[in-house]
């Protein structure tokens, strides 16, 4: 069965979450087992306990590697976005993958006692893509830095140690599911004679109509089960920890707005910070221009609030498609979804806001090519005439 089969109940409280577990059906990757239906969750949405930016020291990089050469060259202060893979020297799998955003070179120095090697000191925003538990390094780690451009297959540099990478994660914090209607599978695990509930499941956030909003990977170690404060036969369950990359309180506010369904008016996202806008963009339905109803060939982009990358993509989506739809969340998907064929005109009002706000956001380590410039290039390549207002 699938999540949609569990997305309703006959109770007085609205159903906001279902807890499910993958059944490993190779014929149906969406097949899941229901563990619980829940009214709400507490402890899932937490402020970032580590700063958005951190400093990493890549120790012992080849001085002639592409990244070291770029860092030492003209414009090397800004290196754009890159991917960091943490591998074991015995090819441990799977690797930890980190996304590095808005990288700046702080310093580059010779590695002590190692001719031909350098230490790269980088300031960056850091996000890990390791969703199942807090990442820990392999016994013998080996690091590779790669381009986000999938056409570049060789690593940009490699090293054996990175200072500051694993010391930024907070201690585990419990998460409570409030007003749970447990399934027999969950109750069997809670029984003294049961096998326990462990491993990982998925906590699926729903809208009022049973549509899926977001899915969080969720550890299933239950530390407490008690009668719910909501009464009836419901339970309140405490889990030892949630996903290490938890959504923020702004994400909760966004999901509460979307609980009533997709937006019908544009601009509902403008009051949120970047994390909230990221969440809003993630809830928008990716739609190709060719699949959208064809109206006017002239589109108007309200650029007053395009002050960050998700804000720019939200404004583009609303200009071409309308509220609740998007042309993707990055440059790759923007290019893919702008497939309308017929020539169109985009009147970009207050374009200087995005140009100024994103001037520092370079693309593919090219200090002369900002994110704003890259968007204009893609629009032109896809046959969109842009009028900057």
Q: What is the pLDDT of residue 91?
A: 58
What percentage of the chain has pLDDT greater than the value 90? 59
> From the first residue on, what is the mean pLDDT of each consecutive set of 10 residues in the chain (389 residues)?
92 95 86 95 81 84 95 81 83 72 91 95 80 64 88 91 74 86 88 62 94 90 92 92 77 95 96 94 94 81 96 97 95 90 89 92 71 94 94
- The three-class DSSP label of residue 115 is coil
Q: What is the pLDDT of residue 28?
A: 87
Q: What is the pLDDT of residue 13?
A: 94
Asked whether the whole model's pTM tops 0.85, one would answer no
Query: What angle (nearest 5°) sits at the alpha carbon of residue 285, between those of residues 127 and 101?
Result: 20
Beta bridge partners of 214: 205
Q: Is domain 262-388 given the CATH code 3.30.370.10 in the classification?
A: yes
For the segment(s) 3-47+171-249, the CATH number from 3.40.720, 3.30.70, 3.30.230, 2.30.110 is: 2.30.110
Domain ranges of the chain: 3-47+171-249, 53-163, 262-388
Query: What angle (nearest 5°) sits at the alpha carbon of residue 353, between those of residues 347 and 359?
Result: 115
Please give the radius of gyration of the chain, using alpha carbons only, rounded to the nearest integer: 24
Q: What is the pLDDT of residue 196?
A: 57
């Amino acid at each position: 069965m699938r999540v949609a089969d569990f997305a309703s109940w006959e109770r007085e409280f609205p159903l906001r979450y279902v807890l499910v577990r993958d059944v490993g059906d190779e014929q149906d990757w969406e097949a899941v087992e229901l563990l619980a239906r829940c009214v709400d969750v507490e402890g899932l949405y937490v402020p970032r306990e580590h700063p958005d930016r951190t400093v990493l020291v890549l120790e012992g990089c080849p001085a002639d590697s592409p990244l070291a050469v770029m860092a030492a060259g003209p414009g090397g202060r800004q290196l754009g976005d890159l991917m960091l893979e943490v591998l074991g020297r015995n090819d441990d799998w799977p690797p930890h993958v980190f996304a590095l955003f808005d990288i700046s070179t702080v310093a580059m120095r010779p590695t002590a006692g190692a001719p031909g090697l350098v230490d790269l000191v980088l300031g960056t925003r850091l996000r890990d893509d390791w969703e199942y538990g807090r990442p820990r390094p392999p016994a013998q780690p080996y690091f590779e830095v790669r381009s986000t451009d999938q056409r570049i297959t060789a690593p940009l540099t490699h090293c054996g140690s990175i200072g500051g990478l694993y010391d930024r994660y907070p201690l585990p914090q419990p998460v409570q599911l409030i007003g749970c209607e447990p399934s027999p599978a969950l109750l069997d695990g809670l029984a003294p004679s049961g096998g326990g509930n462990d491993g990982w499941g998925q906590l699926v956030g729903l809208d009022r109509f049973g549509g899926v909003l977001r899915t969080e990977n969720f550890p299933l170690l239950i530390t407490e089960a008690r009668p719910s404060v909501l009464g009836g036969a419901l339970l309140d369950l405490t889990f030892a920890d949630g996903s290490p990359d938890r959504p923020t309180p702004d994400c909760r506010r966004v999901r509460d707005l979307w609980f009533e369904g997709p937006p019908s008016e544009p601009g509902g996202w403008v009051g949120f910070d970047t994390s909230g806008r990221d969440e809003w963009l993630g809830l928008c339905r990716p739609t190709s221009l060719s699949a959208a109803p064809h109206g006017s060939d002239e589109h108007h982009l309200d650029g007053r609030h395009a002050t960050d990358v998700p804000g720019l993509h939200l404004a583009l989506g609303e200009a071409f498609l309308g509220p609740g739809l998007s042309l993707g969340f990055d440059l790759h998907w923007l290019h893919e979804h702008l497939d309308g064929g017929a020539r169109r005109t985009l009147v970009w009002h207050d374009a200087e806001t995005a140009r100024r706000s994103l001037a520092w956001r370079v693309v593919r380590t090219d200090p002369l090519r900002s994110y704003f410039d890259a968007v204009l290039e893609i629009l032109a390549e896809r046959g969109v005439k842009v009028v900057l207002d």
